[in-house]
Each structure stands twice: as C-alpha cells, then as structure tokens.
Amino acid sequence: MQGSAPHAGKGVQGTPQETEEPTGENKRADRRRSPRHRRTRPDPETLVQQGLQFYIQVQIGIKTEVKFEISVQDQTGSRNQKEAAEEAHNQEGRRQYDIIALQEIGCSPTFTGYSVYEGFGQSKVATLVAKAVTAIRHDIDVTDIDHRKANFSYLLGKAEQAAGKQGLVILGDFNAWHKSWGYDRETPKGKALAREADRKRLSLITDHTQPTRVRNSINRDSCPDLAFVKGVREARWENDGETLGSDHCILRIQIETLPIKKCMACVVDHQLREVNSASIKSNNILEAEEVAIALAITHQGKESTAEIVTDSQEA
C-alpha cells in the first residue's frame, strides 16, 4: 500500500495549524521536492504523535473444513483408458472429485467440468482439476523420472519450492522398491526415494498392507503407488480395490488444508463516512494490521479520527 506521512501542519488533536496556503508555482515546487509513492511502515504510536489519531480493530474470519478429494488412477493394462477413467469417475452416483490424477494414460483425456493439465511431449500422466477449484500450474524440468537413477532430491526440492508455504501432495507410480512400503527387498531407486522423503520430512500416507497393484504370473501383490504429504492438517488414504481392467487399483485421498483467513478493512472518518476500504487475505494477524495502518496513512491526516473496522462482525 502506498502513502505518505501525515501533514506536519496538524496538531495532536487533529486541529489544523494556521499556515500560509501555497499557491501557483509554490505548489508545483513543493510537489517536485517532496518524495512521492513512498512506502512507510510507522507504528501507531508515532502516527498518533504526528496528528493522525485512529485505532485498529482487525478481526479475521476463518474458513474451516477446506477439503479436497483426489482420485488416483493408473490405466496400465486397461483396454480403453478413457472409458475406464470415465467409468471410475461415474461410480458411486457420479461422485465429484476435486482432482483426478491419471497415470499411464496413453491418450489426452477430456472430462466435462474439469480442466486438464498434461506434461510436455509424450506425457504419461495427466491431472484433472474440477473447474470449481482454482488451480495454478507449476512445471518442473524433470524428464528422467522413469530412470532407475532418477534424481529425487532435485524433483522433491522443486516440488517443495513450487508449493511454498502451502500444503504439498506428491503421488504416483514410483516403482521404487523399499521395505518401508511393503517390499521384501530394496532397489537403489527405492533407497534414494526413502532417503529424500525422510530428509525433506514428507509423510507417507499409503497403507502398504493394502496392495495397489494386483499380482500376475510374474509379480506378487505390491504397492508401487505412493502418496506423500507435507504441510497438510489431515490426510486420509483409501484403496477401494477396483481396477476397471487395469492392474492397479483406484485410490482415493482426502486432504484438509490449513485455514484460510480473510477480512475486510475500511477506514471511516469522524462523521462515519467510509472513505476507503481494502480486502485483506493473510495468515498472520500482524500482516493484516500493517495493511490497515497503511490504509489509514493514505488519508494524509485529513481526518481527525480514522477507525478501521471489518465486515467479519456480520459474517
């Protein structure tokens, strides 16, 4: 928020001092000499001493129960990947998932009511996000994930960087054998994944007692499909046992995000007229107060009293 300090011509009680009114060239000269668009962060006590009297009443409205439901589907071995994915989506009375993660797709999926995000080139995965959910795409320059020597440190680090302070969910068919998720032996790829997940404090929510890949003539039941979370309040993982022609089961993940805090701050003059307002989204009460202070500063001391209130009282 941009603003300048209150006029020095105001007293502590907000009463104007008798000063000579500059006119003509004097006004233009004053504007040239005075810095404009200065960012200031004074404390309320300083502002009161300089003549802008106000108090801050910032209340935060918290949106609870922010949940997302993810359907994870691997279409390997399915005769018709698109039909299988649509059938999975239409199960249980056309249950609406917030996100659908498809693996080994072999086609470009299109579903009504969803935005499709695919990788570049011959991508093997696609992420479908319900149009009612706001999504921002982040691309990570990793192309060797299929290789047995995949650099998980770089991949997971880039994912953490993209997520920032938000919750992070990492999932997929890693095909990385490790005893931590039910295999009887460990491969170099599995050791690397387990080491990096532990170093970055990722929590594995996959229940390896419920195999995600059904046995065949070569391999026994196994759990190559893994899901890690970080910065998530609560996460639930479920294997419904349905394959729809694939050799991988459909998995469901429900996550609950951290609360979203939002408030409306408005500056009201001493005659109870609203003179400015601004929406504030913040996870920190101090940040909201700083925005409210800057909002009051923009009035340059024109009101003897400025009050900052919120609309959360009616929420």
Cβ-Cβ contacts under 8 Å for 99 (sequence gap 6 or more): 68, 69, 70, 71, 127, 128, 129, 130, 133
pLDDT band at 186 (very low <50, low <70, confident <90, very high): very high
Tens digit of each residue's pLDDT (9 = 90 or more) over 134-175: 888 888 877 666 666 677 888 899 889 888 888 899 988 888
Specify the residue for token string 């989204």: 281
Answer with the residue of higher pLDDT: 200 or 62. 200
How far apart CA 55 and CA 14 sit, in angstroms, is: 14
pLDDT, position 17: 45
Q: Kindly report the number of other CB atoms within 10 A of residue 102's CB atom.
A: 26
State how far the Cα of 253 lies from the Cα of 25, in Å rounded to an integer.
Answer: 69
Sequence-separated (6 or more) residues with CB below 8 Å from residue 121: none
For 278, phi then psi, to 5°, come to: -160, 145
Using alpha carbons, list the distances in angstroms from residue 108 to 111, 171, 248.
10, 20, 20
pLDDT digits (tens, 9 = 90+) for 268-283: 544 444 445 555 454 4
Question: Could you tell me the sign of the dihedral formed by the alpha carbons of 274, 278, 283, 286, in that order?
Answer: negative
Q: Where are the domains of the chain?
A: 41-61+260-313, 65-256
pLDDT class for 199, splitting at 50, 70, 90? very high
CA dist 296 and 293 (Å) reads: 5
Q: For domain 65-256, give the CATH number.
A: 3.60.10.10
Q: What is the pTM of this model?
A: 0.57
